């Protein structure tokens, strides 16, 4: 495994710039074969919320590069900017008609409860092979 860092566009409300993603992906190919992209939306600690257009571009980028999207969406109920709107990666992906593997993560301890020490979360696997899901669930139960 190898960490591939990409930088958010602070001047554009912490958006995820596709050219920056391309740069990071190309740079990493000398040391690894990228398989996934992790996106945290809404962002922490910036509080940024990706626009629908930005998410569409990320989904297209992932499709073009055959990347699994791991969407950490646990702060979706903690949006403080009244002009911002949360869009889930799953919804945007379906609206685009794009089919690719997606892990969408949510939490019971960050949005509604938010109590210190209380931790609980869940995830959804979208478009995964049934055998892969079975192995994943077996691993979780072990």
Q: What's the total number of domains in the chain?
A: 1
Residue 11's SS3 state is helix
Residue 113's SS3 state is coil
Which pLDDT belongs to residue 81?
A: 86
Within-domain flag for 3: no
Residues in the chain: 142
Within-domain flag for 107: yes
For 61, the domain range is: 8-141
Q: Where are the alpha helices (DSSP H) in the chain?
A: 18-28, 52-64, 89-96, 130-141
Better-scored residue on pLDDT, 46 or 136: 136
The rounded percent of the chain whose pLDDT value lies above 70 is 92
Within-domain flag for 124: yes
Average pLDDT along the chain: 89
Q: Does the pLDDT value for residue 138 go beyond 90?
A: yes
Ranking 22-31, 52-61, 115-124 by mean pLDDT, the lowest is 115-124
Which pLDDT belongs to residue 122?
A: 82
Q: Does the pLDDT value for residue 46 go beyond 80?
A: no
Q: Does the pLDDT value for residue 109 go beyond 70?
A: no
Query: Are 7 and 20 contacting, i.e. CB atoms less than 8 angstroms apart?
Result: yes
Q: The domain that contains 59 carries what CATH number?
A: 3.40.640.10
Q: Does the pLDDT value for residue 132 go beyond 90?
A: yes
Bond into 42 cis (ω within 30): yes
- Largest Cα span, the chain: 46
Smallest Cα–Cα separation from 52: which of 8, 15, 7, 24?
15
The rounded percent of the chain whose pLDDT value lies above 90 is 66
**Tens digit of pLDDT for each residue in 113-131?**
555 566 677 889 999 999 9
CA dihedral 86, 90, 91, 97 (to 10 degrees): 140
Within-domain flag for 1: no
Cα separation of 48 and 132, whole Å?
33
Within-domain flag for 68: yes
- Match 């794009």 to its residue by tokens: 98
Within-domain flag for 2: no
Which pLDDT belongs to residue 96?
A: 97
Q: What's the whole-number mean pLDDT along residues 39-45?
A: 87
């Amino acid at each position: 495994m190898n960490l591939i860092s990409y930088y958010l566009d602070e001047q554009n409300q912490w958006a995820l710039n596709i050219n920056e993603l391309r740069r990071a992906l190309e740079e990493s190919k000398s040391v690894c074969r990228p398989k996934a992209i992790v996106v945290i939306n809404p962002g922490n600690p910036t509080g940024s919320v990706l626009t629908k257009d930005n998410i569409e571009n990320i989904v297209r980028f992932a499709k073009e590069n055959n990347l699994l999207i791991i969407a950490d969406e646990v702060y979706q109920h903690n949006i403080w900017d009244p002009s911002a709107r949360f869009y889930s990666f799953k919804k945007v992906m379906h609206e685009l008609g794009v089919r690719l593997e997606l892990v969408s993560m949510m939490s019971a301890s960050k949005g509604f409860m938010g109590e210190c020490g209380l931790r609980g979360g869940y995830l959804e696997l979208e478009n995964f092979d049934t055998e892969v899901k079975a192995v994943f669930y077996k691993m979780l139960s072990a």
